[in-house]
């Protein structure tokens, strides 16, 4: 799968929105490379897919498929939050960026992030934000992000 021809990869690997058939192309297995993600039944997947689809452009999950393998090899999502501050401004929250371990280093992560960032900009967001581990800081900096503030969390489970 490795291919150092970046313009070739640009043509070969297009970003598109998640489709319901992507479950059978390894979408859940890809998310398992990011975080704990139990198996999801077809019914559960379809229900969640419909729920998210009803949010339209306010919640977008995008993917890159390797057409030769029929496999989803990169994904990420953005959720658009509507606020009162900043003249009823909007903020894009980027989440769940992951590239298949066999396809890293091909600029696919950057491509996914660019797609999500551009989506948020086109929908009128004044900024996009995300959380990441220290080891991925350099990746996001290469994609034009900068560190600001700190993350706080409280888990319920």
Ligand X SMILES: CC(C)(COP(=O)(O)OP(=O)(O)OC[C@H]1O[C@@H](n2cnc3c(N)ncnc32)[C@H](O)[C@@H]1OP(=O)(O)O)[C@@H](O)C(=O)NCCC(=O)NCCS
Q: Cα–Cα distance between 24 and 128 in angstroms, integer?
A: 30
Q: How far is CA 49 from CA 6, 57, 98, 124, 130, in A?
A: 32, 13, 19, 24, 22
Query: Which is closer to ligand X, CB of 124 or CB of 138?
Result: 138
Is residue 80 involved in binding ligand X (CB under 6 A)?
no
Task: Give min distance, CB of 130 to ligand X, in A.
Answer: 7
Q: Cα–Cα distance between 151 and 130 in angstroms, integer?
A: 9
Letter string b/e over residues 10-33, b meaning 16 or more CB atoms within 10 A of that residue's CB: eeebebeebeeebbebbbbebbee
Q: Which of 91, 110, 126, 129: binder of ligand X (CB under 6 A)? A: 110
Task: Give min distance, CB of 135 to ligand X, in A.
Answer: 5
Decide: helix, strand or coil at residue 110. helix
Is residue 97 involved in binding ligand X (CB under 6 A)?
yes
Is residue 99 involved in binding ligand X (CB under 6 A)?
yes
Q: CB under 6 A: which stretch of 40-48, 58-66, 137-145, 149-157 binds ligand X? A: 137-145
Query: Which is closer to ligand X, CB of 48 or CB of 142?
Result: 142
The phi, psi pair for 18, rounded to 5°, reads -60, 140
Q: Counting beta carbons within 10 angstroms of the beta carbon of residue 50, is it exposed (0 to 12), middle (13 to 18) or buried (19 or more)?
A: exposed
Is residue 64 involved in binding ligand X (CB under 6 A)?
no
Query: Which is closer to ligand X, CB of 93 or CB of 110?
Result: 110
Q: Which of 9, 29, 31, 34: binder of ligand X (CB under 6 A)? A: 34
Interface residues with ligand X (CB under 6 A) are 34, 97-99, 104-110, 132, 135-136, 138-139, 142
């Amino acid at each position: 799968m490795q291919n150092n021809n970046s313009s070739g990869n640009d043509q070969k690997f297009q970003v598109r929105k998640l489709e319901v058939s992507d479950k059978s192309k390894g979408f859940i297995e890809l998310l398992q490379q990011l975080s704990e993600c139990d198996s999801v039944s077809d019914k559960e997947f379809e229900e969640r897919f419909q729920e998210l689809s009803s949010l339209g452009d306010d919640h977008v999950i995008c993917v890159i498929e390797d057409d030769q393998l029929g496999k989803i090899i990169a994904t990420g999502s953005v959720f658009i939050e509507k606020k009162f501050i900043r003249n009823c401004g909007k903020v894009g929250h980027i989440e769940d960026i992951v590239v298949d371990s066999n396809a890293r280093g091909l600029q696919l992560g950057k491509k996914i992030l660019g797609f999500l960032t551009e989506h948020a900009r086109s929908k009128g967001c004044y900024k996009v934000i995300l959380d990441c581990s220290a080891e991925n800081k350099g990746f996001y900096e290469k994609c034009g992000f900068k560190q600001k503030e700190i993350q706080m969390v409280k888990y319920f489970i």
